Amino acid sequence: MTPEITAVEQRSAANVIIDREKLHLLQNYSRYPLALSRGKGSYLFGVDGKKYLDLITGIGVNALGHGHPRLQKAIKDQAKLLIHCSNLYYHEYQGLLAEKIAKASGLARCFFCNSGTEAMEGALKMVHSHGRQISPEKFEIVSLENSFHGRTLGALSITGQQKYREDFEPLIPGVRFVPINNVAALESAVSPNTAGIVLEIIQGEGGIYPASDAFVRKAKELSERYNALLVFDEIQCGVGRRGVYFGYQTIQPVVQPDVMVAAKPLAAGLPLGVIACNEKAAGTIKAGMHGSTFGGGALACRVAVEFFDILDGLLPQITARGDYFRQKLLDLAASYDFVKEVRVHGLMIGVELKMPGKQIVLDAMEQGLLINCTHDTVLRFLPPYTISEAEIDKAIRILNKLFRKGKLYYKEFRSQPKEA
């Protein structure tokens, strides 16, 4: 932004962007009224030059914040050499990235795609193919109530939230939903006809709820007993967010899935998704049964390789910053009776309120803090893995200010007549 551009012109630049989108884009998003132009570290800047502390990072994507010099260099270097060549041919970085993921996850084989939902879609094809190899009746899938797995028809079919599904039914048949951490319900849902059990290891869109170790262990036992594929959705909680490579690695002893899907931070800002699986699951997909034009492109894979190299040294810091954030949030929450619970898993953080959180998110934007609200009442923070203690302190100071105003919202909320 050049200094001679006036504040009015800056504001109208934002309005031009917003108005053009309103005219020419599908109106499927309810965006916040903010147009962004650039980012640096943990900060984003609006087209008006206003600075925002970014604690949502493109919904858990920009894991190293914005403009990380090593990622910038990898993008620049690779863009000069080769951006895309399709999966008709080999390039240097797909195999290298698969090797790193295999080492980090213990899952021998990878398939690369471009998003989370696409990874889940491929995993569902594996589940169906696995079932068909055994019996035509073996196509059932057990998934979790309150889960979120993406927007394609397959991923919606196993998403346990009616609001995402209802406009698109009928979906894939044979899906049974069980409440998270209800071992008895899980046991009674799984049968010889179950081809796959899909677990979102920490429910993200659902409000930051982790699956318990006992529940995951039971899912593993049932998947072995009934020869069903065990699939973990690590799209939001994986690739470092919990301070380990993949969320399931916090379970001790580690419970290995047959299939794991990951995406969001995988290429630290570029679109990339992965299905990682063991040899048993890999055997369900033969040549020609699945594919992608863009998936695993040279640019995205090179950046992801660079990101993994950085992540290796960053994992302990993610855990430490998560612990620091938890303590600060618990201290803050103690002063506000409208905070129901603080849930912190590495740098995947939910603050559940006893009232809707949308107005607090809007107020936060005013104060230069970007967070979001999921499941109506849960303030969600997915900060960059590189966030500093000083930036966490700053976020807490802003939240304290917002929560003081939040007392009024809570009073108002409680005085409203409750629906019968």
Ligand X SMILES: Cc1ncc(COP(=O)(O)O)c(C=O)c1O
Q: Tell me the Ramachandran region of residue 103: left when phi exceeds 0, alpha when psi lies from -120 to 50, beta otherwise.
A: alpha
Q: Is 263 in the site for ligand X (CB under 6 A)?
A: yes
How are beta strands 140-144 and 175-178 bridged, if at all?
Answer: parallel
How many residues bind ligand X (CB under 6 A)? The answer is 15
What's the maximum distance between 2 C-alpha atoms anywhere in the chain? 71
H or E stretch including 142? strand 140-144
Residue of 115, 223, 374, 377 that binds ligand X (CB under 6 A) = 115
Q: Is 149 in the site for ligand X (CB under 6 A)?
A: yes
Which pair of tokens denotes residue 13?
């630049």
Binding mask 16-35 for ligand X (x = CB under 6 A): --------------------
Lay out the sheet containing 51-54: strands in order across.
36-40, 43-46, 51-54, 369-370
**69 alpha-carbon distance from chain centroid:** 24
Residue of 46, 150, 207, 243 that binds ligand X (CB under 6 A) = 150
Binding residues for ligand X restricted to 354-393, rule: CB under 6 A: none
Residue closer to ligand X, measured from CB, 150 or 357:
150
Cα separation, 334 vs 274, whole angstroms: 40
Q: Is 223 in the site for ligand X (CB under 6 A)?
A: no
Q: Is 117 in the site for ligand X (CB under 6 A)?
A: yes
Instruction: Please state the φ and ψ torsions of residue 91, each to the nearest 5 degrees.
Output: -140, 175
Question: How far apart are CB 236 and ligand X at their closest, in Å?
Answer: 4
Distances (CA, A) of 116 to 238, 263, 295, 334: 11, 5, 12, 36
Residue recorded with tokens 């304290």: 400
Question: How far apart are CB 205 and ligand X at their closest, in Å?
Answer: 5
Per the CB < 8 A criterion, the answer to whether 356 and 413 are in contact is yes
Per the CB < 8 A criterion, the answer to whether 164 and 156 are in contact is yes
Q: Is 247 in the site for ligand X (CB under 6 A)?
A: no
Cα separation, 331 vs 92, whole angstroms: 49
Residue nearest to ligand X (CB): 116
Count of positions (residues) in the chain: 420
Question: How far apart are CB 35 and ligand X at their closest, in Å?
Answer: 21
Residue of 54, 121, 140, 200 that binds ligand X (CB under 6 A) = 200
Question: How far apart are CB 111 and ligand X at their closest, in Å?
Answer: 15
Cα separation, 389 vs 292, whole angstroms: 41
Cα separation, 39 vs 221, whole angstroms: 46
Q: Is 154 in the site for ligand X (CB under 6 A)?
A: no
Q: Is 205 in the site for ligand X (CB under 6 A)?
A: yes
Q: Is 121 in the site for ligand X (CB under 6 A)?
A: no
Residue 109's CB: how many other CB atoms inside 10 A?
Answer: 17
Q: Is 231 in the site for ligand X (CB under 6 A)?
A: no
Question: How far apart are CB 285 and ligand X at their closest, in Å?
Answer: 20
- Give the range of 67-75, 160-168, 198-206, 396-404 binding ligand X by CB under 6 A: 198-206
Q: Is 236 in the site for ligand X (CB under 6 A)?
A: yes
Question: How far apart are CB 271 and ligand X at their closest, in Å?
Answer: 8
Binding residues for ligand X restricted to 37-66, rule: CB under 6 A: 59
Q: Is 140 in the site for ligand X (CB under 6 A)?
A: no
Which residues of the chain form contacts with ligand X (CB under 6 A)?
59, 115-117, 120, 148-150, 200, 204-205, 233, 235-236, 263
